[in-house]
Structure 1
């Protein structure tokens, strides 16, 4: 302990002794004829100062001092002498007063205005302020007039080792891959020292590791941390705490130090293969399990983490490779075995699979350690289940002719119970698919029969569903679709495709096509329709018309001559016999109506009425209509004229002295509706003159026919 104290005192007082030796030379005056100089010897005089000297007409003057220094953190009982100002104009008569201004003048630094001695009156800290710029001036003591222009000088605060190194960004964290080689760089740390880096060794740092060896090392000057052991295993230890020290004074004794911590985490690499937890797995599954159902899970553990622990699973061998599959669950890191195809307990009761787990991401650095995979055996036992009936076919297609007899067998479906204890089967028709109950089925043997007649022209297809039910367990049922196609038979005769009406021009030419007709047949023969057209036997030698078969299966009717006259005959009826090509063939007779019409020269029909033929020659239809309109208009005018004339001759005033009640007639008959109206004219009451002979003749006759005693 005494030795360490002695070293500390030596390090502390050595700069002070050097300053004490050099200080007198800094404050004594130089020869009178020298200019202002610094310790470096460079001139202090400025152009501004030279100009001021010329203004003052000074031939000789000068400040003499060197650059001044003061030791930081000095705390003696008396103010510390920094230096002394002196001018060559001072003869020692004490008529010169020295004035100090600038940074810290009067607060940090004081000057003896007579001697020019400068003292530091406060404790200085270089890290707070490293230098001060002040201005010195010499003035006459009595007049305060400047004897010299003011001049600047610098007081520098001399550094001592009073600041320890600091790690401003600590504590630190870093990562390095596991299994790294020796000397792999981990990270670097940096400490700072507030002391002067250019003066002495106060800020010269040296780094070392206090804790964390032998796993890591550090470069003393650069603070680069490296691995000190090769192949560190994350699975053995993942995290390390390293304590780092930074010491100033170049690491020598007496220096100050600071520490920080570094947490180093080993990151994972794929250096471990997957390993199944067990070599043999057992699973059982019912035979009626739904396809895609998970049967079981297998897992291969991996000491690595993240993607390095990800494994893919495959079935590489076994007698169930076609029935089962395995998929990888990325979340659980296991393999899920699922069913691909249906199982049958009665066919095979167990299966053996060989599954493999292999790492997905392989690190080539460790591939030489062996395959990063593992295998296990999986035993799957199939359990018996009560299964529904199984039809011999997934669908059935039946055909039946539309003229099939009732109760005839159309076809048959079969089903069986796949269980070992086979149960009898009963068949039925789902009536929701056969609402009209056109079919029946034998419950025991599955034969389908016809219940109602079929008509292909109404419906070609009938789709029904057959249900098979186990007698021992009615809950076990199966369904199968049955499509029944109705086959065509020739049971419809052909007929005209439309209601045809032909028109024949009076001025037509022989051989001219009057009308083209086509036929249709509701049947659907395999080879398509082919029609035969003919006239009735008694119409074969028809003098007016003939027929011609066309290649498109249609028929053209042609006129044999010209000179048809609608006055002689307006309409012709032509019966045509149409036969199909069925076996046996069917035929029907359709009649074509042919009207004789008047046509223009280019064959456009104008009129087909007989009355139009007897009209006066030379009058067009428009002219006849105009004449008829004029006649009707003339008749209307005549009727209006007569009516107005008659109303003009009738008196409009009823005579009050006439008793109109004499016209009232009484009779015992019940009311006769219109007969009463005819017998009594109310207009007579309004016009008494009617009694005097203006009744209509029919009214008078009616009155004469009534006896006088009818009332």
Structure 2
């Protein structure tokens, strides 16, 4: 600053003085984030202390007015995250403060608001989105247990579903998808649907060949990070017998010769029949005479016998036909038919009978040798050679 007078005699006199004006900063600028929104990605198994990312806010005020503090003001569920400030650069670091509750299955994303505040009351906010990447950390488990039991009839048709196994995996998404495999024990009889867990019959069962199967099954998830996990179970399949076999006889027809004087109760023939079903009553056989003269014949177990009181007469009936039904006791019932031809053979049961008790014959005394002097007649009721009569002079 210069001052001068208005002197006219000696001239104008002046003097100067220097002033220093100091401008003090006023906190008149709001902090600003650049950018105003952040997206970070972390693995669900990230450990405590892991840096998620950095965020930057600036304040164009000077001095202490540009000093910022950072606070997560919303969205920090379970206090998983914290913000640390790098003093030298005023940059904020988003850090995992407690990884205990960091679980992809519980939450796949965290949306938070970060507030930057200067030394005054001015502040601004940024949006933070932290996306959690799941890892395959759970092993699939069969439910309600890893041991299954099923009982099925051997007559069950191929394609039939005998049971459905199920497994659960605590992971979600593709890591929790479960696929099923039949590992061993199927012997070409069973298959499993890899998606549904349906256990099916794929070829005909036979109780007489195998009555039980022990299947080893597995369930595996679809995880790749860090690997897929697998567990196993067993299925015990028990086969019950069905009446799927018919009786079989060693012969379906017999020709039997029987003397006409055969005694009642005598065995005519024995049928050799069997049923290859594995259990009773499917393999139990009954014998029934379905045609034939019940006056003469009957069934005793598997034997065709001469009925009590029967009396054959070769001279009246020489041949009988008998049909026997051999049936099992299963459901549905199966049977076989056997034909028996009984041929009656005669016996010499009748003596010859003369046509008269006394024959009177006259002959002249000079009859020549060889002259027929009369006819003696005798008959025999038997047939065949038994009925042929020969004559001799006894005295």
The structure that is helix-richer by fraction is: 1
Change in CA separation of 1:185 and 1:105 when aligned onto 2, cut-off 3 Å: closer
Structure 2 counterpart of 1:126: 103
Q: Is the 8 A contact 2:211 2:238 kept in 1?
A: yes
1:121: how far off?
A: 2.6
Q: Distance in 1 between matches of 2:196 and 2:291?
A: 59
Compare the two structures and name the one with the higher strand fraction: 2
> Which protein shows a greater Rg?
1
- Residues of 1 paired with 2:226 and 2:105: CA distance? 26
Q: Does 1:64 align with 2:36?
A: yes
Look up the SS of the partner of 1:66 in the other structure: strand
Tell whether the 8 Å contact from 1:133 to 1:152 is kept in structure 2 after alignment. no
Higher relative contact order (CA 8 A, sep 6+): 2
TM-score by length of 1: 0.31
SS in 1 for 2:290: strand
Q: Within 5 A, what are the aligned runs for 1:45-84?
A: 64-75=36-47, 79-84=49-54
Q: Are residues 1:316 and 2:290 paired? A: yes
C-alpha distance in 2 between matches for 1:137 and 1:86: 11
Within 5 Å, give how 1:431-580 maps onto structure 2: none
Mapping of 1:226-625 within 5 angstroms? 226-227=200-201, 230-249=203-222, 254-274=227-247, 303=277, 314-317=288-291, 320=294, 356-358=326-328, 361-362=331-332, 372-373=335-336
Q: Is the 8 A contact 2:326 2:335 kept in 1?
A: no
CA 1:127–1:269: 2 relative to 1, 3 Å: farther
Q: Which of 180, 190, 194 is the equivalent residue of 1:207?
A: 180
Counterparts of 2:43 and 2:116 in 1: how far apart (Å)? Answer: 30
Counting only pairs closer than 5 Å after superposition, residues 122-161 of structure 1 correspond to structure 2 as 122-124=98-100, 125-131=102-108, 133-143=110-120, 145=121, 147-148=123-124, 153-161=128-136
Residues 464-483 of structure 1 deviation map (CA, whole Å, 9 limit, x = unaligned) = xxxxxxxxxxxxxxxxxxxx
Aligned to 1:171: 147
The 8 Å contact of residues 320 and 353 in structure 1, kept in 2 or not, is answered as no
Q: Which residue of 1 aligns with 2:377?
A: none
- State the shift of 1:241 in Å: 0.9
Contact 2:323 2:337 in 1 (8 A): no
Equivalent pairs, count: 270
Structure 1 residues 105 and 310 mapped into 2: Cα distance closer, same or farther (>3 Å)? same
Correspondence list, 1:78-117, <5 A: 79-87=49-57, 94-102=66-74, 104=76, 107-112=79-84, 115-117=91-93
User: How far apart, in 2, do the equivalents of 1:253 and 1:84 lie?
Assistant: 27
1:499 paired residue number: none
Could you tell me how far 1:162 is from its partner in structure 2? Answer: 1.7
Q: RMSD of the TM alignment (CA)?
A: 5.0
| CA–CA separation in structure 1 for the residues paired with 2:284 and 2:105 | 59
Identify the residue that residue 381 of structure 2 maps to in structure 1.
none
Q: Cα distance 1:61–1:208, how it changes in 2: closer, same or farther (>3 A)?
A: closer
How far 1:240 sits from its partner (Å)?
0.6
- Please list the CA deviations of residues 562-590 of structure 1 after superposition, one character each: whole Å capped at 9, or x if unmatched: xxxxxxxxxxxxxxxxxxxxxxxxxxxxx
How far apart, in 2, do the equivalents of 1:256 and 1:348 lie?
82
Distance 2:60 2:160 in 1: 71
- Work out the CA distance in 2 between the residues paired with 1:225 and 1:356: 39
**Structure 1 pair 146/253, CA: closer, same or farther in 2 (3 Å)?**
closer
Q: Do the aligned residues in 2 keep the contact of 1:100 with 1:137 (CA within 8 Å)? A: yes
| Displacement after TM superposition at 1:120 (Å) | 0.8
Measure, in 2, the Cα distance between the counterparts of 1:128 and 1:71: 12
Normalised by the length of structure 2, the TM-score is 0.51
Unaligned runs of 5+ in 1: 1-57, 277-283, 286-298, 327-333, 336-342, 364-370, 378-711
Shift of residue 323, structure 1, vs aligned partner = 11
Deviation by residue 1:397-454 (Cα, 9 ceiling, x = unmatched): xxxxxxxxxxxxxxxxxxxxxxxxxxxxxxxxxxxxxxxxxxxxxxxxxxxxxxxxxx
